[in-house]
Structures are given as C-alpha cells and as structure tokens.
Amino acid sequence: MTIAELAKDFTGLLKQGDDEGAAGKYNADDIVSYEAQEGPMAVSRGREALKQKGEWWRANHEVHGGSVEGPFVNGDQFAVRLKYDLTPKSTGERVTMEEVGLYTVKDGKIIEERFFY
C-alpha cells in the first residue's frame, strides 16, 4: 500500500466518523502524538496512550457535527483538515474547533501525528 493509498483510507474512515477504526488499523505500536498545547496530553507515546487520550476527548466533548478535508500527501507525510461543531462538557458552550493533523508514515503505519490549531 502506498502512502497516498493509506492516507486516503485513513481519511475515509475519519470521514465516516470512525476515528477509532482508523487508529486501530494504521497507528504504529510506538506512535507519538503532539498537541499544540501544554499539559499532560501535550505528548502521548504509544498506541495505548493515544487510545486513552481519545477516550478522554470523547468523554469530555459532545460532538454535534464536523467535516474532514484531505488527505494532502507529500512524501512520507499527509495532512488532514478537521473541523468540529462541539460542546466541551466543562463549559457547556458550543464552539467550532478547527485543526490540521499532520501524519508521518513508516513501514505502512503512522508513527507520528502532530496537531495544529
């Protein structure tokens, strides 16, 4: 599978709302995730840590809708633009969140993800 094919399939799963399926299929065991913020989840290492981060995110946000654009492929990386209509449960205030995810692929697996927002 080429990186373009992997990126297309990964992004297709995201567009279907199956972020857990996308991660399960393509995340490397030793994946590293970087968020554009300080705090305990600024850097997460390993498949299990990313799973826990995703579970925390879903438990703390009510998602009303959103969109996924891409993938945009360059070499061993691809980017995806994500837009969410959500309500953080901590504030109860409905907001629009936009971010770009940059994914690096090696040996058919995503080894790094970086989020920009």
- When pLDDT is averaged across residues 65-72 and rounded to a whole number, the result is 97
Query: How far apart are alpha carbons 42 and 30 in whole angstroms?
Result: 16
Is 0.75 topped by the overall pTM? yes
**Residue 99: Cβ-neighbour burial (10 angstroms; 0-12, 13-18, 19+):** middle
Q: Which pLDDT score, from 0 to 100, does residue 40 have?
A: 87
Q: Is the pLDDT of residue 16 over 90?
A: yes
**Mean of the pLDDT values across residues 34-46?**
94
- Compute the distance between CA of residue 114 and CA of residue 57 in angstroms, rounded to an integer: 16
